[in-house]
Structure 1
């Protein structure tokens, strides 16, 4: 379960993504004009790291998957995307999630365990948390047996519009441009209002 807050963010997540994308290996442009399609989340069992994966559409119609993690303290081994002031949680460091071991651990667990995105609940004006509908659905196609891999270090390589991650003896490919193809092995599939595609797969 992901617990969110109705909060003011400065800058906004959309602004952070727009500013950072030109530096991302998988983005070919220089001045993105982005339409948010939605996001899905994974849970951090320790409750310390926010894991949020955004889908955005650029002006040319291309859809990009932008995985981010949010932390309250710096993680020197991860790729910093930006920083945000959160009116409830305070200063947050935003990272490229493919370089964050917590995201990689939960991605592998979801794929291998046949899991799905986290349910999301939001605090509004101090009321009891209210469940919100996920705009993006993601599900793993694995056997139902979680990998059990606890990633402490992730090695990433850019291959076209993909990031190939090696961690804990496993290899997983994140498709930043979600692809319309059937996976050959365990994978993460995504659906949103205007599309469905392969988001990641084990190799």
Structure 2
């Protein structure tokens, strides 16, 4: 169970992301973004060592996706008490947590703890947790799975101009995380698993969209 601490984090997550997001190939917002935390959820690490968060942040839209003058990005993150071996390229930054001390924040698509937890969510073996409350399920996260048995594994993540894809070796499937969220998006034909959720728009609406799909390559 992820324990949510009411404490300070320096620099803040949004400060780290403001520098990191514009370096990503799928980023669609302003060059110098003013980010707003607009939603998200957490998953539990069964070992209790790694923090897992799927954060949604919005910033000014530059005419691509989004509504109300903003674009929403899905940013999966992991938080660790020590560096993750071999993941220097996926480091978002380091923070000082008021309770836990130094924390290393990673692009969660490159962290096997997060990808395993996401597969468990899709397959119904895990439950989404509220972003800012301890031991509280997030009932606005919906998932489905029609596959036969658990997914055997995932390949290395590959960024595109709108998603991060992790192929299922030999399975003809890909786990696709939508980095740019499109209100009202639906799963493509042949999809065997999916996660959808909502976030806050500046106009007060809470659209639903695909967050992740397990679909044919």
TM-score, with length taken from structure 1: 0.83
The equivalences for 1:118-129 within 5 A come to 118-119=129-130
Is 1:190 matched up with 2:197?
yes
TM-superposed CA distance for 1:56, in Å, is 1.1
Give the superposition deviation at 1:39. 2.2
Report if the CA contact (8 A) 1:116-1:137 is conserved.
no
Judge conservation of contact 2:3–2:135 (CA < 8 Å) in 1: no
- The unaligned stretches of length 5 or more in structure 1 are 123-129
Q: CA deviation at 1:117?
A: 1.0
Write the deviation string for residues 133-152 of structure 1: whole angstroms up to 9, x where unpaired: 85x83222114987264x5x
Pairwise mapping of residues 80-119 of structure 1 onto structure 2 (< 5 A)? 80-113=91-124, 115-119=126-130
Q: What is the aligned length?
A: 193
Deviation at 1:95, TM superposition (A): 0.2
Partner Cα separation in structure 2 for residue 52 and residue 84 of structure 1: 15
Residue pair 2:40, 2:199 contacting (<8 A) in 1 also: no
The answer to whether the 8 Å contact 1:113/1:144 transfers is no
**Does residue 25 of the first structure (1) align with residue 25 of the second (2)?**
yes
Q: Which 5+ residue runs of structure 2 have no aligned equivalent?
A: 62-69, 201-205
Q: CA RMSD in A?
A: 2.5
Q: Does 1:199 align with 2:214?
A: no
State the match for 1:127 in structure 2. Answer: none
- Could you tell me the TM-score, scaled by structure 2's length? 0.78
| Whole-angstrom distance in 1 between the partners of 2:131 and 2:76 | 17
Residue by residue, what CA displacement relative to the aligned partner does 1:55-102 show, whole Å, maximum 9, x if unpaired? 111122111111110001111333000000001101000000011101
| Aligned counterpart, 1:62 | 71
Moved over 3 A (4+): 119-122, 130-134, 143-146, 167-170
Match of 1:165 in 2: 166
Distance 2:196 2:160 in 1: 20
How much does 1:30 deviate?
Answer: 2.3
Question: C-alpha separation between the residues in 2 aligned to 1:199 and 1:49?
Answer: 21
Decide whether the 8 Å contact of 1:116 with 1:139 is kept in 2.
no
1:74 matched to 2:78: no
The structure with the greater share of residues assigned to strand is 1
